[in-house]
Amino acid sequence: MNFEFTTEQEILRKTVRQLVDDEILPHIAKWDAEGSFDASIWSRLAELGLMGVCVPEKYGGSGMDYNALAIVCEELERGDTAFRTAVSVHTGLNSMTLMQWGTEAQKEQYLVPQAKGVRIGAFGLTEPGAGSDVAAMSTTAVRDGDFYRLNGQKTWISLCDIADHFIVFAYTDKSKKHHGISAFIVERSMAGFTSKAIKGKYGIRAGNTGELFFEDLRVPVENRLGQEGEGFKIAMSALDNGRFTVAAGAVGLIQACIESSVKYCHERETFGKPIGEHQLVGQMLAKMEAGYQMSRLLVYRVGELKNKGIRNTRETSLAKWQACDFANKAADDALQIHGAYGYSDDYPVARFLRNSKAPVIYEGTREIHTIMQADYVLGRRNDKALEKMLPRWPFEE
């Protein structure tokens, strides 16, 4: 049991923090208000090797361990949730799924350019009528010779207008329910593909989120990920990776709440003393710190399980649930500490609160994770090792 970061991990943290301080924080209020961010950030993330930080070097990545990805997500969300979301989707949901389930040909064609940051990957599971209830999806993929004809719609898809490649889920046999879902690698350039951004979001306004539409889109058979009927299993394993990055990002948001609140506590005085000296304000700060420390331990435990090649669905669920709840509460308390000023754009805490709500909902609502944890405790749910797991770290070259 080792709670210390390696020298390489500490350098990574400082590098990402410097990027956030220099190139994100000075502009994020403007980007959030406008609903977009400077695309050059993608180039900077790629230059620093952050788009494939935990992808083996032989596939174009940096070859670092899975907790390196947690560090990247934590520090990026300290800047804004939109940037962590981008890495979560690109690396956690897409690239790591290719690492786990892709053929060598698929890895060469899609994983390598994604790890280098030359191409952007995304993930299409949610539909207008299918969120937590994945089996309610209506998108279909019908075999037609050497192709599948894909028809349907996905919604709340991050990077919908930006990504080059999407892992998309569709029914190949609806009569089999969960066992009739299959996964496909879809390219934006394929005929029959369109996307549309969702405007007016409550939070994560700088991030691109929207809908995907497939109209008789022909997907080559070689772009099927896994076998027919393995899609649900692939989707759930992908969510283990995505939830890990979401939880790590929540740790960064709590840290941002603490930093902003402590700064304000030293600046603001009421009743003749700094507000931090009032006990109930101190209580809020103490709760933030407790949530920060507990969430961080849960997240990095998951990263170590990934490093060892051990299935971690239970531990990831707990980390995602708790870290996101702690972040939402920390953001609420941070705004309360700032008082009326917190309700304005003069301080970042209103943005923190808006951003903190979405992670409590996506990639498994807090209610879904509560049920999952109860089922584990009661012995109604047990996870077996999958036939295909993420590669252990250190990676074999």
Find, among 6, 24, 1, the residue nearest to 256 by Cα.
Answer: 24
Find, among 99, 89, 154, 102, the residue nearest to 363 by Cα.
Answer: 89
Cα torsion 55, 61, 66, 71: sign: negative
The burial of 9, by beta-carbon neighbours within 10 Å (0-12 exposed, 13-18 middle, 19 or more buried), is given as middle
Active-site residue 363, yes or no? yes
Between CA 37 and CA 28 the distance in angstroms is 8
Between CA 74 and CA 164 the distance in angstroms is 25
Phi-psi region of 389 (alpha: psi -120 to 50; beta: other; left: phi over 0): beta
Long-range contacts of 93-96 (CB under 8 A, 24+ apart): 93/121, 93/122, 93/123, 93/167, 93/238, 93/239, 93/241, 93/242, 94/121, 94/122, 94/123, 94/165, 94/166, 94/167, 94/238, 95/52, 95/55, 95/121, 96/54, 96/55, 96/238, 96/241, 96/390
The full 3-state SS of 183-243, as one line of letters, equals EEEEECCCCCEEEEECCCCCCCCCCCEEEEEEEEEEEEHHHEECCCCCHHHHHHHHHHHHH
Q: Which amino acid is at 335?
A: L
Catalytic option among 127, 222, 363, 387? 363
Residue numbers annotated as active site: 363
